[in-house]
Amino acid sequence: MLLCSVTLYTVLDAAEAAPSNSDVNTLIDRLKFQENLDWNDFLITDHLPEIQRDELNKKIQSQIRNKIRKEYHFEVLDKKVLRDVCAFIICATDERNPIFSEISGLTFCKVKDQWKLTPLMGSFRHTGFNLYQLEAEARQRELEKWVFKQQAVYKSKVQGQQENKLLNKISEFSSESAFQAKEPSALVLYFLSMVKQANFHAIAACLGVDLAESFGDDELQAIYSLVEGLSGGRQVGDWAKLQEQPYIATVLEDDDNEMVSVAMFFPELEPKEQILEFSVKKMGSRWVLELPDNMSLDDEGKFSDADFRGWKLKRENRSRLDEVSPLIISSLKPVSADSSGVLLERLLKALSEGDFATWCSCIKFMDEADKAVRRDELIAAAESWSEIKKKSLMAFKLVSVREAENVAVAKVLAVSKQRPNDYVIDYLVLCKANQQWHMVMEKSFEGDDAEGLRAARDKLIKEIKDEGDVDVAPLLLGECHVISLANFADCTGVDQSAVKESYLRYDDSLMKEDYANALKVAAAIKGTELQTLAALGADLRGRQDKDSKYEFIVAHKAAQMCAATIRLTNRRSSDVEYLLYFYCKDGEQVLVLPYLQYRYEQSRGARLFNAKVLEFVEGLKDQGIKDSFMSLINKHNELVNEMRNE
């Protein structure tokens, strides 16, 4: 949206009615999301040559892009008013980095009872304001010096406050007696679990950041490594591996008291068997650990490309890589059930939660001492896991089960939440031994002794395959409302808050990847069930982009439908899109229609996107609903036109 002329406050007396802190915060929020630079937003002299004007344009864009970033939170710290000029000290912080702060100055001039922003932060250059008036220029110089001095004062003050706040947060974890008593092995496993949860303060406690008298180079390097490692970026070394990938880990025995080695098995990576080494030391009464080299930023601010299996491993660990799989199997706590149904529930839950350890615990591995056999079995378990869990975001549904005396076969549907037409059908084989059910790998059916078991399994698989194709939509729709156009309820009594509440619940569910909850506030028009699921998947993908921000602007009403204008911005670019979500009413619930979305047509892509919606609307037989659709689209377009032309 175009930033409107920055009329922060109409005043009678400049010294008493300068812009308020709230006015400045409103201005900053506008600057964050401006699409194009408008010269009317700033007080700029008319006597600036075109070349200098172009250079100034670039400087303004650069300072907004670098200092008023969309992800920053801003606070006004101080202000000073000298008759017709004033200055504000603002502080930018970033919730992703607890020790980041940037102190800047915003300066304003009063022109015809309006306060206007100067083009350069903390400076009155290029304004031409009260030029050649010595007293006025003296006030400007005085304010510029004040901004420069206060920036230094507040930089030190804010940094101290941030460090104290961070230490207090870390101490909430490190002061617990259970944490204090952790031995090195337990501390390392706790660290890994906190990395999986992206718990910054608990991880910092493991590193002993709170034990330093002040933040020196080592502490700052650890903090910056955590910030970057937990950022979710692409170049984060092995942090992403530990956060996003399923794995099983067990601590290896070490003769070195200052080293903890962890054997790790990653079913979806190559190599699957890896070892992670931690240096540990005692500080005071508690143990702390150091980040491995490949999880700590180097002097150039980058993570090492070497993985856990790299040449940097100690020699004794390089020789123990072949022992990882047998040790992993030995560390598992076997899980069984007295019915096949209970075991299948656990297996599907493990798949949904990415819990490879529980998946393997449900498997009955062969009683075999040979390391190669044990390794082959764990590799087979990983392959069965990966085959059924090919996508990171999957919904798993039990389609049917066939059971004989000692064998059961389950047909499982694994569907991509992001693309519901992309699905996998797989078969899980369970066996019963000593009245308990387990999942088994193919090796259990090899050999003459297993001939009867093998025949029973093959018979059940044939029967279950003969059941025919699977209708995906009903299995995936969950609690989504499937309604006909004839059942659209009157929307004239729906207020804006109801539409906003429905949108926020839908948006929040997608942000949390809570597919089932998003369906509860969604509706599919009969005949568009699969298209609705595909559209919901696209919305889910959009919310996974951490650089994107979806912002509810306003709700619109028509006779039989409602809609909401949503602003979509991305911090990687200055592009802004305006989406229109349609809503219907089913009983007392206001429900989003994911399949029917409209975009403000500012590009060829938006026009192509809208073609399906307009074609759907054109084909409607109910003139009332058709009129409601077009009325809402017109209201959306009119609103966006006004916002862009302000």
Task: Note the pLDDT tens digit of each residue in 452-481.
Answer: 888 888 899 899 888 877 777 777 787 888
Q: Which residue ranges make up each domain of the chain?
A: 21-168, 175-326, 335-470, 477-645
Give the pLDDT of residue 469. Answer: 78
Which residue's structure tokens are 């005949």? 527
Question: At 4, is the pLDDT very low, low, confident or very high (cuts 50, 70, 90)?
Answer: very low
Give the pLDDT of residue 533. Answer: 87
More confident residue, 232 or 404: 404
Task: Note the pLDDT tens digit of each residue in 360-376.
Answer: 999 988 766 677 888 88
Tell me the range of 132-136, 182-186, 212-216 where mean pLDDT is highest. 182-186
**pLDDT higher than 60, residue 339:** yes
Query: Domain 175-326, what fold?
Result: Nuclear Transport Factor 2; Chain: A, (3.10.450)
Give the pLDDT of residue 598. Answer: 92
Q: What are phi and psi of 505, to 5 degrees?
A: -65, -40
Task: For the chain, report the end-to-end CA distance as a whole number of angstroms.
Answer: 8
Task: Note the pLDDT tens digit of each residue in 541-582.
Answer: 888 887 788 999 999 988 888 999 999 987 666 678 899 999
**pLDDT higher than 80, residue 15:** no
What contacts 49, CB < 8 A, 6 or more positions away?
none
Helix (H) or strand (E) holding 58: helix 50-67
Query: Domain 477-645, what fold?
Result: Nuclear Transport Factor 2; Chain: A, (3.10.450)
Task: Note the pLDDT tens digit of each residue in 604-632.
Answer: 888 888 998 899 888 888 888 889 899 99
CB 330 within 8 A of CB 318: no
CB 207 within 8 A of CB 229: no
CB 394 within 8 A of CB 407: no
User: For 402, how many CA atoms within 13 A lie in the half-sphere containing its CB?
Assistant: 15
In the numeric block, which tokens belong to residue 410? 């389950």
The CATH number given to 335-470 is 3.10.450.50
For residues 244 and 233, give the distance between their C-alpha atoms in angstroms, rounded to a whole number.
Answer: 12
Q: Do domains 175-326 and 477-645 have the same CATH topology?
A: yes
**CA distance readout (Å), 174 to 167, 188, 226, 506:** 10, 14, 17, 37
Give the pLDDT of residue 216. Answer: 76
Task: Note the pLDDT tens digit of each residue in 382-440.
Answer: 998 988 877 666 778 888 899 988 899 999 988 877 776 677 888 899 999 888 999 98
Give the pLDDT of residue 227. Answer: 84
Selection from 372, 388, 363 nearest residue 444 by Cα: 363
pTM reported for the whole predicted model: 0.74
Calculate what percentage of the chain has a pLDDT beyond 90: 30
Cα 506–509–514 angle (5° rounding)?
A: 135
In the three-class reduction of DSSP (H, G, I as helix; E, B as strand; rest coil), residue 401 is classed as strand
Angle between helices 371-388 and 324-331 (to 10 degrees): 70
